[in-house]
Structure 1
């Protein structure tokens, strides 16, 4: 689904002074329909936040605006498209817009919620998950294993726990 330029599938959840911003590739169809980040029941995002101690309780997708109270933001590389990565048009990812947002808001950490998102934004293959050598302004960059149900075979909570330790420090 493509939206007019002035509309986003899901609004950014960003402001200055955040400790952590999560960035995915694009909202899935369920997230787009429900207007909530990581809304598919098979997605492990909300569970991972809680189990890694990033959030004090397990939030549900519609509670995503409450992340701001915890110093956490959300965005996506594709703001005007939704669906599986393989179904998105080649120009769906707006890396310059992401970089401009991160430079403007300067969170301490930017965590990509998949190696695919990190690869698209950083312009290089991603080896191991975890802290990456790049910075965007002063923002440190982390790559995480995807919480998507479609990536379940590659799931590992440990990089999320390591992110929690980085964010707390």
Structure 2
């Protein structure tokens, strides 16, 4: 388990980036809004202990066991990857501008067209709406496709998104997982 970053390490992580966990032909490319400072300090996606991405991924049937963020590269062997709409780290997602999110949406389209996953799963409805200009989009399967890639919106797994319970997150992840076996 990674060591908890210090206050100075968190401050130094502002505006850093974390490499994507990515290869061609994945089943699902999970896309966060942007990495937080905790993730930036450790160089790992969804690293903050209160983030519910890893538990939801497991509970939704994507992983055979609960993975630690330090095991993120193991996702590739499961046909899964991770990227972000905006690459730079911030303390909170609301520090991002609409222009950054829209530019990130364009970059994300390029990434998807290059790597061709079966599904792009964006983790955060507000970020998706802004990045893709879809004001009324909801959680779940979207009508939009990027090349041959389907687009799915999942709830933001941040612990700050208390509206979604762990069971609710798991159910949404499982709904996407069910698409892989049909």
Normalized against structure 2, the TM-score is what? 0.84
CA distance in structure 2 between the aligned counterparts of 1:133 and 1:95, rounded to whole angstroms: 16
Structure 1 unaligned residues grouped into runs of 5+:
4-8
1:11 corresponds to 2:11 = no
Q: Give the number of aligned pairs.
A: 164
1:78 corresponds to 2:91 = no
User: Of residues 116, 127, 133 in structure 1, which corresponds to 2:126?
Assistant: 116
Q: CA deviation at 1:15?
A: 1.4
Q: CA deviation at 1:89?
A: 4.2
Q: CA deviation at 1:81?
A: 3.5
CA deviations 1:20-65 (Å, max 9, x no partner) are: 0000110011111111111111111000011111111100011111
Structure 1 stretches of 4+ moved >6 Å: none
1:114-153 correspondence runs (5 A) = 114-153=124-163
Question: What is the aligned partner in structure 1 of residue 33 from structure 2?
Answer: 25
1:96 corresponds to 2:88 = no
Aligned partners of 1:26 and 1:83 also within 8 Å: no
Aligned partners of 1:118 and 1:126 also within 8 Å: no
Q: CA deviation at 1:98?
A: 0.9
Higher strand share: 1
Label 1:99 to 1:127 Cα distance change in 2 as closer, same or farther (>3 A).
closer
1:164 corresponds to 2:147 = no
Structure 2 unaligned residues grouped into runs of 5+:
1-13
Structure label with greater radius of gyration: 2
